[in-house]
Amino acid sequence: MRLSHHYVVPHVSTGDMLRVAVKQGTPLGKKAKDLMDKGELLSDDLIMDMVSERLNEGDVRARGFVLDGCPRTVAQAEALAGLLAPMDLDLTIDIEVSTAQVLRRLAARRVCVDCGTNYSVSSPPLINWTCDVCGGEVVQREDDREEAISRRLEIYERQTAPLIEWYRDRSQLASVNGSGSPDSVTRRLVRVIEDHRDRRGGRPTR
């Protein structure tokens, strides 16, 4: 989210899109809810259909995008490369955080049910778990509870971590240290993107 604000490009988050679908009670949302609450992945086809539709919209085509939460499997990475051909992603970024820190951050995370703004128990909204941005209710995500968190970590190791090698083999991977404050992590991300841009001769990044 911070990165998309920095570059003024759309933030395409598969998790956010799914949470909107769940909230609106669409057929996609109905399929997604149980799996999401348990920390399971949705099917590759379903995710890539949703992503394909979004990446065809005018704002994304005109300005580029930050894709967040996708791909989570090698099959999704292959489908994404196909969707973007003959171009491809400029860069994928692996934000490295220790498992202990992931556990702490997820357990402390709170989120606005209306606009998705993230808070934490140590950095809550100003007034009584009411979102500073839109006034919505700020709650703990169902999948940030203990059981779902451990399932998500298991799935990450098995299905998502292999993408690190996959993108490294294609010279499309940068790794960034994800410890520290959101501001310092954002600064590191921007630095890596700008270095990449410089090496590529200033072509717009997406």
Q: Rule CB under 6 A: which residues touch ligand AMP?
A: 14-15, 18, 35-36, 39-42, 47, 69-70, 72, 76, 143, 152
- What minimum distance in Å lies between the beta carbon of 37 and ligand AMP? 8
Q: Given the complex with ligand AMP, which of 69 and 136 has the nearer CB atom? A: 69
Position closest to ligand AMP via CB: 15
- What minimum distance in Å lies between the beta carbon of 35 and ligand AMP? 5
8 A C-beta contact, residue 35 and residue 91: no
Q: For strands 66-68 and 11-13, give the pairing.
A: parallel
Strand ranges (DSSP E) for the chain?
Answer: 11-13, 66-68, 92-96, 109-112, 118-120, 138-139, 173-177
Q: How many residues does the chain have?
A: 206
Report the distance separating Cα 202 and Cα 58, nearest Å.
23
- What minimum distance in Å lies between the beta carbon of 195 and ligand AMP? 26
- What minimum distance in Å lies between the beta carbon of 49 and ligand AMP? 12
Q: Given the complex with ligand AMP, which of 22 and 131 has the nearer CB atom? A: 22
CA distances from 141 to 11, 23, 97, 116, 138 (A): 20, 13, 20, 10, 9
- What minimum distance in Å lies between the beta carbon of 177 and ligand AMP? 20
In the DSSP assignment, the letter for residue 130 is B
Q: Given the complex with ligand AMP, which of 47 and 189 has the nearer CB atom? A: 47
Q: Given the complex with ligand AMP, which of 7 and 143 has the nearer CB atom? A: 143
Report the DSSP beta bridge partners of residue 93: 174
Q: Given the complex with ligand AMP, which of 1 and 197 has the nearer CB atom? A: 1
